[in-house]
Structure 1
Amino acid sequence: MRNIKLIVEYDGTAYAGWQIQPNGLTIQEVMEEALGRMLGEPAKLRSSGRTDAGVHARGMVACFRTGKGMPLRAFREGLNTQLPEDIAVRDACEVPLEFNPRADAVSKHYRYTLLLDRFRSPLVRHTSWRVPGPVNVPAMEAAAAGFIGEHDFLAFQGARCAAKTTIRRINSIDLVREGELLHLDINGSGFLKNMVRIMAGTLVDVGLGRRTAEDIRRLLLEGDRPDAGITAPPQGLCLMEVFYPEESLKMPVPISPSLGGRG
């Protein structure tokens, strides 16, 4: 039995999210059907997490087990021939059977993209949230620093979140300007439902002068969700990369049979 790890990129515009559900077509469903056709047997994907309807990914990690001896390129080039244009496998490798894409992850990098423009842009309408501005970016940077570290993110948790704890660690937040686009690059140990989108909505309020950096610190201490910003639209969010300890990805070295004679 083999455990195959895939890096998946997708445009989530047409899908009801990653995870299979009864009320719409999902990326997991499309990929499992494509895998089934290629392998000639059912395939079950385990992922590093979920993305909501309309959210994108450049580096979703998903694994499946198979007894097939296909070369790794078949799980990339071959699978891509079975997938629609808005889903693609970027890489495939074999990992230990015990590798778990969700439990073994040590951090994730999400990017939320804002379009700071008075006029709408058809070209980036599916990958950004337009904020007419003017926006005070330095004030947003100062406020974003308040998220760094380990905090209780109860105020930044979406409804019906099943997480056992709301304590999360944010390792870094960088605001990167690219023309009229402003990227919020957030790296953390893990994220609650809608957490990044609520953080983005709150930082936009800071940029528009509706909140201050002190409000961020207060929200983290008081945990009052209604007092935080709105949940930013899904299309601006993209899962960029998932990080793992190197040892969790290393395949065991085969044990050579003994070459000695009988003792």
Structure 2
Amino acid sequence: MRFAVVVSYNGSKYAGWQIQPSFLSIQQVIQTILSRMHNRPVQIFGSGRTDAGVHAYGQVFHFDSDMNLDTTQWRKALNAQLPEDITVVRIHEVPCDFHARYSALSKRYDYLVNTGEHDPFRYPFEYQLNQELDVDAMRESANLLIGTHDFSSFCVNSIEETPDQVRTLHRLEITQENDIVRFRLEGDGFMRYMVRMLVGNLIDVGLHKKSTMDIQRILDAKDKHATNVVAPPCGLYLVSVSYKEIP
């Protein structure tokens, strides 16, 4: 049987989702538990990688099992063994051809920025910019990025690694509540550092370091050297991944 698992985690102390030699990752923690339960190696497949320090409300992975447990039993068994900064939210039994990465229809990310006083208790969970942002200017620039574009300038994937760097950004909303500015992005897929580079350059617009014309120029350039601005990982959350197989 194949199971799709929605998992939430605080990524502060992890070297990201993907297993890396000599570093602790989310994938490693979960695979170790599943392998121990099965008395054999078990591999899990995530919807994508989150970088070191990035958090998730709704990361999704799948695994195969011949153990006689239903989804409720699986959730209880995993949460009993997971550390307190990783939690299984829900589990679904899915068709055997389901794949957490390749079956995904869209992903949603949120990025949080604190524009007020530095908050030592929230610094792992919000980018402590501690400066005012021009939200209207950022929204004007964000409108240029919505739609289907070649986002080569806003990611670090090489052309050899990812020949097709065209993606569709369905939504890029910017809201402010008190001192917290939230960027909400939804699209059919995101390349490495893409969300953080989009947000980082929009923050530059909000600080009047860049203009809307600069954002258009960077987008049109389709050039890895067009910008090197990347927002810190701490403010980024993978909120959800959408599938036709999972309600």
TM-score interval, normalised by the smaller of the two chains: over 0.9
Residue equivalent to 1:140: 138
Residue identity opposite 1:193 in structure 2: R
| Shift in Å, 1:52 | 0.8
Residue equivalent to 1:155: 153
| Shift in Å, 1:36 | 2.1
Residue equivalent to 1:183: 182
| Shift in Å, 1:170 | 0.2
Distance in structure 2 (CA, Å) of the matches to 1:36 and 1:102: 21
| Shift in Å, 1:233 | 0.6
Residue identity opposite 2:95 in structure 1: P
Is 1:115 paired with 2:135?
A: no
Q: TM-score, normalised by structure 2?
A: 0.95
Distance in structure 2 (CA, Å) of the matches to 1:205 and 1:229: 12
Distance in structure 2 (CA, Å) of the matches to 1:58 and 1:163: 27
Distance in structure 2 (CA, Å) of the matches to 1:25 and 1:185: 28
Contact between 1:168 and 1:190, CA under 8 Å: does it hold in 2? yes
Residue identity opposite 2:56 in structure 1: A
**Which of 1 and 2 has greater Rg?**
1
Q: Secondary structure at the match of 2:52?
A: coil
Count of matched residue pairs = 246
Contact between 1:199 and 1:229, CA under 8 Å: does it hold in 2? no
TM alignment of 1:82-121, pairs within 5 A: 82-117=81-116, 119-121=117-119
CA shift digits 1:171-219 (9 cap, x unpaired): 0111122321111000011111100001111001100111112222221
Q: Which runs of 5+ in 1 are unaligned?
A: 251-263
Residue equivalent to 2:125: 127
Distance in structure 1 (CA, Å) of the matches to 2:80 and 2:163: 40
Q: Which runs of 5+ in 2 are unaligned?
A: none
Residue equivalent to 1:80: 79
Distance in structure 2 (CA, Å) of the matches to 1:43 and 1:178: 43
Distance in structure 2 (CA, Å) of the matches to 1:147 and 1:35: 40
Q: Secondary structure at the match of 2:198?
A: helix
TM alignment of 1:245-256, pairs within 5 A: 245=244, 248-249=245-246
Residue identity opposite 2:14 in structure 1: Y
Contact between 2:104 and 2:241, CA under 8 Å: does it hold in 1? yes
Change (3 A) 1:160 1:30: farther
Alignment RMSD: 1.6
Distance in structure 2 (CA, Å) of the matches to 1:22 and 1:42: 17
Distance in structure 2 (CA, Å) of the matches to 1:109 and 1:6: 17
| Shift in Å, 1:165 | 1.6
Deviation above 3 Å: which 4+ runs of structure 1? 224-227
Contact between 1:172 and 1:188, CA under 8 Å: does it hold in 2? yes
Is 1:20 paired with 2:19?
A: yes
Contact between 1:205 and 1:229, CA under 8 Å: does it hold in 2? no
| Shift in Å, 1:113 | 0.9
Moved more, 205-214 or 152-161: 152-161
Residue identity opposite 2:118 in structure 1: R
Distance in structure 2 (CA, Å) of the matches to 1:41 and 1:178: 49
| Shift in Å, 1:225 | 3.6
Residue identity opposite 1:34 in structure 2: I
Moved more, 197-206 or 156-165: 156-165
CA shift digits 1:224-261 (9 cap, x unpaired): 3433351111111110000112xx459xxxxxxxxxxx
Residue identity opposite 1:15 in structure 2: Y
| Shift in Å, 1:131 | 1.6
Distance in structure 2 (CA, Å) of the matches to 1:8 and 1:132: 31
| Shift in Å, 1:133 | 1.9
